[in-house]
Amino acid sequence: MKQGWGWTPELPEGIWRHVPSWLRPFYASVPWISAGLLLLMLHMIGGTMTLAEGVVFDLPSVGLTEGEATPLVALVMPLQDETCVFFDDARYSLGDAASASSLGEHLAERAAKVEGRTLLVLCDRRVPCEDVTKMAAVARTSGLERVLIANKSEASAE
């Protein structure tokens, strides 16, 4: 016996009339399975899309203690339209390849004479990131083991 008043017609089964009843739950979940597989594939290839050539900075978990001396110190700052590096009373331009290579030679020569192979780099905040990376690359090719980029302490009045 039919329930209700019979005012609404019965709904057609649509695409479900072509599907066996035991497969209906699987077919209903197919869009969610597809979305999940797509997200999984994007996650898997996500790491390969971020590969780039550059210099790796291994930052130590415990930094240098305050007052610890570093044997080599370089000052990097922008002057007009170029970035200059001041090291051992000499000025080098990072934009010029010959000047950058002579900086590398000078760093290698000084690194051979000192015990610690750490370079402390004092950078102005206006120095582009690209030039900081160039400076780290020059230091790496000259044989230095660590490059420390200094930060300004707000508490110090020196």
pTM beyond 0.85: no
- Amino acid 103 reads L
pLDDT of residue 34: 96
Residues 6 or more apart whose Cβ sits within 8 Å of residue 94: 76, 82, 83, 84, 85, 100, 103, 131, 134, 135, 138
Half-sphere exposure of 80 (CA within 13 A, CB side): 2
User: Please, are residues 87 and 74 in contact by the beta-carbon 8 Å criterion?
Assistant: yes
pLDDT of residue 127: 86
pLDDT of residue 129: 86
Going residue by residue through the chain, which has 158 residues, state the pLDDT in tens, using 9 for 90 and above.
556 677 777 777 777 777 788 888 888 899 999 999 999 998 888 766 555 566 566 555 555 555 556 788 899 988 888 899 999 889 999 889 999 999 999 999 988 888 877 888 888 788 888 888 889 889 888 888 888 887 665 555 44
Burial per residue of 124-154, b for 16 or more beta-carbon CB atoms within 10 angstroms, e otherwise: eeebeeebbebbbbbbbebebebbbeeeeee
pLDDT of residue 91: 92
pLDDT of residue 105: 93
